[in-house]
Structure 1
Amino acid sequence: MKVLALLLIAVACALADDKYTTKFDNIDVDAILKSDRLLKNYVNCLLDKGNCTPDGKELKEHLPDALETECSKCSEKQRTGTEKVIRFLVNKKPETWEQLKKKYDPNGEYSRRYEDEAEKRNIKA
C-alpha cells in the first residue's frame, strides 16, 4: 500500500511539472503594454539588459522551452496573453519585436514554424 501511495505521489509530481506555473497568470498584461516604462523593464529583462521581476524571471526562464514546444505547457491564459503581447509588439513596437527575435530566434526557425499560425491569427510577424 505504501509503495502504491509513493507511486501516485511521484506521478502527481511528474504531471504537475508538465505545465508552467500559473501563479503569475493574474498579471495585468494590458497595464504593462500601456506603460512604456513597465514594458521596457520586461524587455530589458528578456534581453539581459536589466533586472528581472519574479514574473519576468519566470518568463525568461521558460521562453525558450515555450518556443520549442509550441507553448504546450502554457495555461490558456498564458496563450491568450502571449498572443496579445506578440500582436502589440509586432504592430506597435516593431523595433522591440526585432530585438527579441534576434535574441530568441536568431536563425528564424520559430518565425518559419509559426508563420501559418500567425497568418491565421492575422499577425504580420
Structure 2
Amino acid sequence: MRSRVLCIFMLAVVASSSAQKYNKYDNFNADSIIQNERILLAYYKCVMDKGPCTKDGKNFKLVLPETLTTACARCSPKQKLVVRKLLLGIRAKSEPRFLELLDKYDPERLNREALYNFLITGV
C-alpha cells in the first residue's frame, strides 16, 4: 500500500513539473491512486527503478527530478494541488518510502526545506 502511494505521488509530481508538456494531468485523480495499493505500488516501483513502467510512469519518472528539486515551481495551480495531495498521501501512508523517494531524487537534500514548505503551504 505504501509503495502504491509513492507511485501515485510520483505520477502527480512528474505530471505537474512540466505543465506545458503534461497538461493532460491537470485533472488527474490523485485520490483514486492513493486508495489503490496495487497501482500505487506499481508507480512507486517504476520511479524507484524497482519494476516495469507504464507510459505514464515513464513520463512521470522523467519530470520527477525537476518537480522535487524545484518544489513544483513550473506546475500549474491545478497540478500543484494534485502533486501536493499525492505527496501528502504518500507521506501519510509510508514515511520511509516517502523519504526513500526524496533521497533518490534529491540525495544531497538541497531542496528539502522548499519542498516541505510547499507541502505545508501549497505555494
Fold-level match, TM-score > 0.5?
A: yes
User: Quick one: distance in 2 between partners of 1:85 and 1:19?
Assistant: 20
The CA RMSD over aligned residues, in Å, is 2.2
**Residue 87 of structure 2: aligned partner:** 86
Q: Retained in 1: the 8 A contact 2:43–2:57? A: yes
Determine the structure 2 residue equivalent to 1:74.
75
Report the AA paired with residue 47 of structure 1.
M
TM-score by length of 1: 0.71
**Normalized against structure 2, the TM-score is what?**
0.72
SS at match of 1:73: coil
Q: Is the 2:47–2:61 Cα contact (8 Å) retained in structure 1?
A: yes
Write the distance in 2 (CA, Å) between the matches of 1:119 and 1:26. 21
- Structure having the higher Rg: 1
* Cα distance in 1 between the residues matched to 2:52 and 2:43: 9
Per the alignment, residue 26 of structure 2 pairs with 25
Percent identity between the two aligned chains: 32
Deviation of 1:54 after TM superposition, in Å, equals 1.6
1:1-125 residue pairs with structure 2 within 5 A?
19-120=20-121
State how far apart, in whole Å, the 2-side matches of 1:24 and 1:38 are: 16
Which structure has the higher relative contact order (CA within 8 Å, separation 6+)? 2
Classify the secondary structure of the residue corresponding to 2:111: helix
In structure 2, distance between residues paired with 1:31 and 1:76: 20
Distance, in Å, in 1 between the alignment partners of 2:19 and 2:93 is 33
Segments of 5+ residues of structure 1 without an aligned counterpart are 1-16
- Call closer, same or farther: CA 1:96–1:75 in 2, change over 3 Å: same
Aligned length: 105
Amino acid at match of 2:77: E
